[in-house]
Amino acid sequence: MATVEHTDGTAHGTAHAGPDTAEGGVRRRDFINVAAVSFAGVGGLATLYPLVNQMNPAADVLALASTEVDISRIQPGQAIKTIFRKQPVFIRNLTPAEIQQANAVPLGGLRDPQTLAERTRDGKANWLITMAVCTHLGCVPLGASEGENRGEYGGYFCPCHGSHYDTAARIRKGPAPTNLEVPEFQFLSDTVVKIG
- Beta carbons of 142 and 149 less than 8 angstroms apart: yes
CB atoms within 10 A of CB 105: 18
Residues belonging to the active site? 161
Shortest CA distance to 57 belongs to which of 66, 48, 49, 65? 65
Closest C-alpha among 196, 77, 183 to residue 129: 183
Containing 32, the helix (H) or strand (E) segment is helix 22-53
Q: How many CB atoms lie within 10 A of CB 10?
A: 9
C-alpha angle with apex 121: 116 to 127, nearest 5 degrees? 70
Please, which residues bridge with residue 194 across strands?
Answer: 68, 186
